[in-house]
Amino acid sequence: MLVEAFKLKGTGSGIKAFTDVPSNEYFYPYVDALVHNGITDGTTKTTYSPYQNVSRVQMAVFISRSLEAENVIKGDAGAK
């Protein structure tokens, strides 16, 4: 949802450490984009837990980070 809404792009290299996100899964490019843009970094160094529910607090943080990433991309960092 956030990847599409904010048009986040990934690199294909940021999530290779996640043992639970195989490259053939439909969600791989979305997780890659989230990690590449600093929206999330997984549940541990080696897991992302793609089937785990996201809490309200986690989602609020993800949205906040997405907005910050959008400002950086657009060159409006620090703008109010």
pLDDT at 14 over 60: no
Give the model's pLDDT for residue 11.
Answer: 83
Give the model confidence (pLDDT) of 21-30 as tens digits: 998 999 999 9
Give the model confidence (pLDDT) of 43-74 as tens digits: 999 999 999 999 999 999 999 999 888 765 55
Give the model's pLDDT for residue 72.
Answer: 55
Give the model's pLDDT for residue 71.
Answer: 67
CA distance 33 to 8: 6
Give the model's pLDDT for residue 13.
Answer: 66
CA distance 9 to 51: 22
